[in-house]
Amino acid sequence: MSETADRRYGPAILPRPRGPLSAAVVEALRRPPHDLPTGLGVDLDPADPITDEDLQLTLFLCYELHYRGWLGVDDSWEWQPTLLALRARCERVFEAALRRLVGTPTVPAAGVAAGLTELVAADDGPPLAATLQRRADLTQFREFVVHRSIYHLREADPHSWALPRLGGPAKAALVEIQTDEYGNGQLDRMHAELFRRTLDRLGLDTAYAAHLDAVPAVTLATNNLMSLFGLHRRLRGALLGHLAAFEMTSSLPNRRYGNGLRRLGFDEVATRFYDEHVEADAVHEQIAAHDMCGGLVRVEPTLAPDVLFGAAAGLAVDRLFAAHLLDSWAAGRSSLRPPAPPTVPPTVSLVASPAVAPPAPSALV
């Protein structure tokens, strides 16, 4: 348990609860590890689990214990049995909703790589990247960056859960992709560090999970999806399928994001994160589909449907995410949640991120 941290790297500050379940978990985590009340979450039945604020935050609270942890929270909570039982109940609801959303993709006769290509070609998500390139104003672009900060400040980590679960060609291909994501071992080239510079240029807090209270459930779902797949060996195929779909749909959108920032007058430091992905992901696309997923299925043919399920689930939840942003902006409202009151206890010592004055007034605080 750490009471002092460099805020750039975590652990994160516990967020504001969003319902009775997340409130119970936050309250429990503030105390030494203990058994949660019997039956907590047993009757969990949200109308839409993917966009349910309480469910998605509860999952995020549990999953983050396996990443950087929470500031002031005992690390022993990571394996506390009753919290794991609660997480499992939430996961069953979430996974069932994902399977209802995408069904069971059919593996074509041409193989899993061809199936991935078909899924990506059929994806007709809302034109978020084109909007950010051509029309979004600075406030909207900053909102988009806030949403994506939850993932990009730990970029590659969720997919790295697959490494000890693989061997052979699939593992070699994943290592090749992840090596690029981690900057080939050079801190200033790590993609998470490049994104931190984008945050800085846009006048946003660069601390790890600094914007957690601001993002809605659908944003948390895009992250929880990766953690669900990554933390369960039975879903290793889905995890690789998710990564493949991510890489196969990344190059053009990142070009558009970079061009959008240039349109708004930002320099190459701000755009480097996106520019880096244009070239890297074009290479990763082939490695992910053919060497990684294809390699996995050659060794374990029964995992082919899981690979396509993971890809389809990732694409579907990203469509929901994009629709939320565009619908919010079309209605003239923010895509973010209302600002949260300060939650840092005065006794906690933090190493603050560099203070940067925002380039324009914004609701992001």
- CA–CA dist 150, 215 (Å, integer): 9
| Residue 265 pLDDT exceeds 70 | yes
- DSSP class of 349: E
For residue 90, how far is the Cα from the chain centroid?
18
| Residue 350 pLDDT exceeds 70 | no
**What percent of the chain stands above pLDDT 70?**
91
pLDDT at 161: 97
| Residue 2 pLDDT exceeds 70 | no
Contact status, residue 23 vs residue 17, Cβ threshold 8 Å: yes
Over residues 31-43, mean pLDDT = 91
Reading the block at residue 316, the tokens are: 């579907």
**Three-state DSSP state, 351:** strand
What's the mean per-residue pLDDT of the chain? 92
**What percent of the chain stands above pLDDT 90?**
84
Contact status, residue 143 vs residue 214, Cβ threshold 8 Å: no
DSSP-assigned beta bridge partners for residue 12: 70
| Residue 356 pLDDT exceeds 90 | no
CATH topology for the 110-330 domain: Heme Oxygenase; Chain A (1.20.910)
pTM over 0.85: yes
**Considering only 20-29, 39-48, 166-175, which range has the smallest mean pLDDT?**
39-48
| Residue 319 pLDDT exceeds 50 | yes
What residue spans define the domains of the chain? 17-100, 110-330
Contact status, residue 293 vs residue 244, Cβ threshold 8 Å: yes
Give tens-digit pLDDT for 104-158. Answer: 899 999 999 999 999 999 998 899 999 999 999 999 999 999 999 999 999 999 9
Contact status, residue 110 vs residue 165, Cβ threshold 8 Å: no
Stretch (H or E) spanning 221: helix 217-230
pLDDT at 3: 54
Over residues 4-17, mean pLDDT = 88
Confidence of residue 342 (pLDDT cuts 50, 70, 90): low
Confidence of residue 281 (pLDDT cuts 50, 70, 90): low
pLDDT at 5: 61
| Residue 209 pLDDT exceeds 50 | yes
CA dihedral 323, 327, 330, 335 (to 10 degrees): -100
pLDDT at 6: 81
Place of tokens 């730990």: 154
